[in-house]
Structure 1
């Protein structure tokens, strides 16, 4: 067996490899196959509890999940590795060699508001298939949902500012940085510094220079002039490498030099100090030098709380680069989410563990708005129920392992997020903890839970 340092490259790219899973998914599959347990199963993905410092979530990541389900295959080298572990019988290896997801998916549309204990994605497939995809499904959906939600919280606090994702270097791995950029744009950001995200998703890429660029020159003004020569149409100057006030004066001086050439200094960036006070001084210097048109961009440890404070103080900042706190969702770095079996072989099932009980069976979620167009409450029902006055949120998106529509443009999802946020009650827009949105449970679903408990109370 090859040592870890000398394993041959797998044919599958990382994001599509079905080995990106937990071992117990495969050990369960072995027993399912040994016992002939391949009837239809229904699993649902949901969030047990929204983090204490959140009032809502924005669902994101559905596109990556559907792509995974459509394309995941076991490569020859992956099957050889599983065989060499000695943990599995040939019947499992043969099953995995022909693995194709053939099930159905119902889901909320990406960009939809969601809350605790609400089904977000429903998977219907033969039990081994539905079980095998659990780990990657959670892995894909929880990350983008966290980041999109935090991006929306930032946008709510600074509705008129330019917001740019600066988080790749602090992301927990390459894929996390890439998908975080997608989630940020979905959540209302204007662009990203992540070049691959620009190529993959069509997100505007934005950025200029780092302090190392300034330091590599013998003096700051020389650095500014050289950058203007190379990038006359994207001239934003980093002014706080040495002395912020002096940097602002030099930016104004350069603007005067470049005016006859038709080159404009678009803006300056500050990346240190107390941003509100720094911005006031820089704005004053630029205005007094006759350059009110030069915009002010700020970065450095920004999150939604700092945005709220800077906006409250009317800091003269036109845009923000937000990195670490956003891409790591530092104040809420994980979702208490789950993917649970709700039906198998036509019989409703549910978990009854203390503090982790689920509602059984295939479910639908209906959303009700008040007369102002704000969300009043959600109602959880059996999938067979029709509830007048409410809008069903789970829609079919995949059947027989094939998606039912082309991938939705990210710009359309972004607009959906904006429409969804307009339906949030005012209290839920706050950064402060608010009472949760009411979730009603239909009488039919409650009866099904009692029947399920009687059936399995043995």
Structure 2
């Protein structure tokens, strides 16, 4: 099925109406998050490569028009104006991996009005989901305090595509690997995995299971030790591991119970067996808060495997994101609805050392020390440059994270930095509001 149909019906009806009315002037739409979810001090911009892929491929063909017409109960000829539509516009965006805050555009689209409207749903879907997951994963990196993290989320993400995205986004913010085979192969990530409880249950006892696994996998092995009794499982693992010519990286995995207390007991058993080189991996319902608790307790856990709660960003699975028209044919426009007021005009965001970000109008000169965040990544419907590598995006993330105020980095009750609007943006907002208000009042009270 054509990706042009991955949209809401009202995008189609609006685009069609614009074409009928000859409204094809240049429009600017801004995609931003109105407010950060609770327990978020920042967001990690993500999803841009997929957005650009979609915009380069998007074309309305005859089957799309037929599908639109059938859903609207109209002849295909009525919607023929949509046939052949593709994206020919410009995209300016915050590069993937950079930190962003409420009210700042993650991207802005400038294109003929029908084109810019039709792509809204797909762009919101990709940027909102991936930014939410990347931000959750980034908090886990903070909580782990330098300990490696691996992604175990595929089995419970909302579909395979979301699972692949979670693995890639984990790597973006510094995860060491993923259990997702397809994502590891596609993105050049380290594939990691151990065994399931079913594997242990399939053998007469844990020792037999561990020996069989070691015979099949002569490299570093990780034994799951809590199928029955965790301490007995760890002792069985220790007996097998002592017999092996162990390569570096062998470990036992704890997946249930009081992970902190069990890690201390497992560490004592392994050390008593002369296995100080064998690590402990913990999994099972972990997120940044539980990881933070375990790290603060001093639990001897070497690797954290995070899955469900991170892959679906369980505590904040959605963002209050919006894609709003801010300019049309060079004129600023804005929404005045209560609690959903927007600001007009194409924008730029300047990051300033030691000060809040400045949201300004596009074309304003940078303030002293200010660095612009939005970059032109697409012109004429085509990328202006290859996508940054995951390594480059991770380096950008790490630099922004290091510069983030300590209050915004907190796991519990973080305080996000504020933003400021430039005088020029404030002035345009006031003029636009006055113009709209005068027009509305003039319509209500004609002379």
Shorter-chain TM band: over 0.9
**TM-score when normalising by structure 1:** 0.92
Counterpart CA distance in 1 for 2:248 and 2:209 is: 16
In the alignment, what sits opposite 1:150? 136
Match of 2:359 among 377, 380, 385: 380
In the alignment, what sits opposite 1:294? 278
In the alignment, what sits opposite 2:258? 274
Are the structure 2 counterparts of residues 179 and 349 from structure 1 closer, same or farther at C-alpha, using a change threshold of 3 Å?
Answer: same
Match of 1:329 among 299, 313, 328: 313
Aligned residues of 1:102 and 1:400 also touching (Cα < 8 A): yes
In the alignment, what sits opposite 1:227? 213
Paired residue secondary structure (2:60): coil
- Please list the CA deviations of residues 100-136 of structure 1 after superposition, one character each: whole Å capped at 9, or x if unmatched: 1100000111111110111110000000000001111
Paired residue secondary structure (2:280): strand
Counterpart CA distance in 1 for 2:328 and 2:77 is: 22
In the alignment, what sits opposite 1:345? 329
Shift of 1:20: 1.2
Paired residue secondary structure (1:385): coil
Counterpart CA distance in 2 for 1:355 and 1:239 is: 52
In the alignment, what sits opposite 1:54? 40
Match of 1:393 among 351, 373, 384: 373
Paired residue secondary structure (1:151): helix
Paired residue secondary structure (1:49): coil
Paired residue secondary structure (2:281): strand
In the alignment, what sits opposite 1:172? 158
Unaligned runs of 5+ in 2: 441-447
Aligned residues of 1:30 and 1:88 also touching (Cα < 8 A): no
In the alignment, what sits opposite 1:7? none
Aligned residues of 1:379 and 1:439 also touching (Cα < 8 A): yes
Aligned residues of 2:16 and 2:79 also touching (Cα < 8 A): no
- Please list the CA deviations of residues 294-332 of structure 1 after superposition, one character each: whole Å capped at 9, or x if unmatched: 000010111111111111111000001101110111111
2:85 is equivalent to residue 99 of structure 1: yes
Counterpart CA distance in 2 for 1:319 and 1:243 is: 21
Counterpart CA distance in 2 for 1:40 and 1:265 is: 57
Match of 1:239 among 225, 239, 250: 225
Shift of 1:176: 1.3
After TM superposition, the structure 1 = structure 2 runs for residues 301-320 of structure 1, keeping only pairs within 5 Å, are 301-320=285-304
**TM-score when normalising by structure 2:** 0.95
Paired residue secondary structure (1:422): helix
Aligned residues of 2:61 and 2:84 also touching (Cα < 8 A): no
Count, aligned residues:
437
In the alignment, what sits opposite 2:398? 418
Aligned residues of 1:251 and 1:265 also touching (Cα < 8 A): no
After TM superposition, the structure 1 = structure 2 runs for residues 430-449 of structure 1, keeping only pairs within 5 Å, are 430-449=410-429
Return 425-434 or 299-308, whichever deviates more. 425-434
Are the structure 2 counterparts of residues 348 and 88 from structure 1 closer, same or farther at C-alpha, using a change threshold of 3 Å?
Answer: farther
Counterpart CA distance in 2 for 1:120 and 1:215 is: 49
In the alignment, what sits opposite 2:71? 85
Unaligned runs of 5+ in 1: 1-9, 371-375
Counterpart CA distance in 2 for 1:165 and 1:276 is: 20
After TM superposition, the structure 1 = structure 2 runs for residues 176-191 of structure 1, keeping only pairs within 5 Å, are 176-191=162-177
- Please list the CA deviations of residues 236-289 of structure 1 after superposition, one character each: whole Å capped at 9, or x if unmatched: 111111111111111111122223xx6667011011110000000000000001
Are the structure 2 counterparts of residues 295 and 224 from structure 1 closer, same or farther at C-alpha, using a change threshold of 3 Å?
Answer: same
Shift of 1:85: 2.8
Shift of 1:92: 6.3
RMSD: 1.5
Return 306-315 or 387-396, whichever deviates more. 387-396
In the alignment, what sits opposite 1:6? none
Counterpart CA distance in 1 for 2:77 and 2:353 is: 52
Shift of 1:95: 3.6
Aligned residues of 1:48 and 1:336 also touching (Cα < 8 A): yes
Counterpart CA distance in 1 for 2:269 and 2:415 is: 46
Counterpart CA distance in 2 for 1:216 and 1:341 is: 59
Aligned residues of 1:342 and 1:348 also touching (Cα < 8 A): yes
Paired residue secondary structure (2:294): helix
